[in-house]
Amino acid sequence: MYNFLLNTATSNSSYFIIGIQLIFVVVMIVAMVAISALLGPKRKTKEKLETFTSGIETHGDARKPVAVKYFLVAILFVLFDVEVIFFYPYAVNFKALGWDGFFAVLMFVSFFIIGFTYIIKKGALTLED
């Protein structure tokens, strides 16, 4: 019974130290935000309140529809990126897999090449809209 109480006291004291650190961090964050809000400049001019887009003046509405082809390019990037990830286990086990592994990877790559040529023939990568 005494060992159980001793282990509980030890684990509770380590949680107590973590709790003190957590309270200290929260107090420091609140203090820093409050001090910067109190001491910081509060000049609100027209230029400061405008949206900033890399030095380019904004015009129009940002809620315009975007062509689906841009999303298709992003999905293709992820698809071919994942394809490269599947090449790593093959490269590591190249000798152990032998010709059967080579033909399996060749079939895997051929599926992607067929899909890629289909996408190119459909004109999905022409972004001239």
> Do 118 and 72 share a domain, yes or no?
yes
Shared-domain flag, residues 43 and 73: no
Say whether both 82 and 116 belong to one domain: yes
Q: Tell me: the pLDDT tens digits for 66-117?
A: 777 777 778 788 888 888 888 888 888 888 888 998 999 899 889 888 888 8
73 and 27 in a single domain? The answer is: no
Q: Which residues constitute the domain of residue 92?
A: 68-122
Residue 44 lies in a domain: yes
DSSP string, the chain: -HHHHHHHHHHHHHHHHHHHHHHHHHHHHHHHHHHHHHHS-----HHHHS--BTTBPP-S-TTPPPPHHHHHHHHHHHHHHHHHHHHHHHHHTHHHHHHHHHHHHHHHHHHHHHHHHHHHHHTTT----
pTM, rounded to two decimals? 0.42
Tens of pLDDT, residues 17-39: 889 999 999 999 999 999 999 99
Same-domain status, 72 and 116: yes
